[in-house]
Amino acid sequence: MTNDERPSTYEPPTEGPERRTERVSSRVLVNTGDGKGKSSAAMGVMLRAVSAGWKVAVVQFLKSGKWHTGEEAAGKALGVDWWSLGDGFTWDSKDMDRTEAIAREAWAAAAGLIRDGEHRLVILDEVTYPMNWGWIDTSDVIEAIRTRPPDVSIVATGRDAPTELREVADTVTEMRAEKHAFDAGIVAMRGIEF
């Protein structure tokens, strides 16, 4: 198809959208959906925050300290405070009560980080899962986000973000799976998925 044959929807905009502009001291972002890239996008925000000179914390609710991901290595090298407080995939759990208790402890640590206000960015990686499973109280998460110190930004990730989390967010991005290598039997690759 040549440029002359393309429909007009391919024309570049010549005017920007009309909108009001307001400066705020913090933001809440939610990356959700069944597609790949929720945590990866959060790690991109982590890099931006570090580059801006912010103190950053990452709390991972499913990944355990046994995982050695590229983003953790890079984050720690850049001075990011990192807690992989999960117990791993639930289907690998030998004691689901223990796995649930670990998630509750991870939330207690994350809530303290938010409340203390020492970090300008707190990433709650895969927090939606324990919220949806009833392991941590959604209303507690929402209250911690609503009452956070004014300059603390939050990025929350995970599938099926609860309505309340979506409502408290400034930006919600729904990642949609169109195709995934895992569905074709291709295992996760270091440098791409972790």
- Residue 42: give its domain's CATH number: 3.40.50.300
Enumerate residues 6+ apart whose C-beta is below 8 A from 99: 87, 90, 93
pTM: 0.86
Mean pLDDT of 47-72: 88
- 18 within some domain: no
Number of H helices, E strands in the chain: 6, 6
- Coil, strand, or helix at residue 78? coil
Q: In terms of DSSP bridges, do strands 153-157 and 121-125 run parallel, antiparallel, or are they unpaired?
A: parallel
Lowest mean pLDDT among 49-58, 117-126, 131-140, 172-181: 172-181
> Where are any strands of DSSP class E within 89-191?
121-125, 153-157, 171-175
Domain assignment of residue 125, yes or no:
yes
Q: 12-21, 131-140, 166-175: which range is least confident on average? A: 12-21
Domain range enclosing 105 = 25-151+160-176
The three-point CA angle 35-37-41 to 5° equals 145
Query: Which DSSP string corresponds to 104-119?
Result: HHHHHHHHHHHHH---
Give CA separation, 91 vs 40, 95, 106, 143, 193, in Å: 23, 10, 19, 30, 19
Which stretches of the chain are assigned E, i.e. beta strand? 28-33, 56-60, 81-84, 121-125, 153-157, 171-175
pLDDT at 67 over 70: no
Residue 193 domain-assigned (yes or no): no
The pLDDT value recorded for residue 88 is 62
Q: What is the mean pLDDT of residues 122-137?
A: 96
Give percent of the chain above pLDDT 90. Answer: 63
Query: Is 9 domain-assigned?
Result: no
Q: Would you call 14 exposed, middle or buried from its count of C-beta atoms within 10 A (0-12, 13-18, 19+)?
A: exposed
For residue 144, give the H/E element and its range. helix 138-146
Mean pLDDT estimate for the chain: 89
- Structurally, the chain folds into a number of domains equal to 1
189 inside domain: no
Nearest of 128, 169, 133 to residue 24 by alpha carbon: 169
Question: Is the model's pLDDT at 1 over the cut of 60?
Answer: no
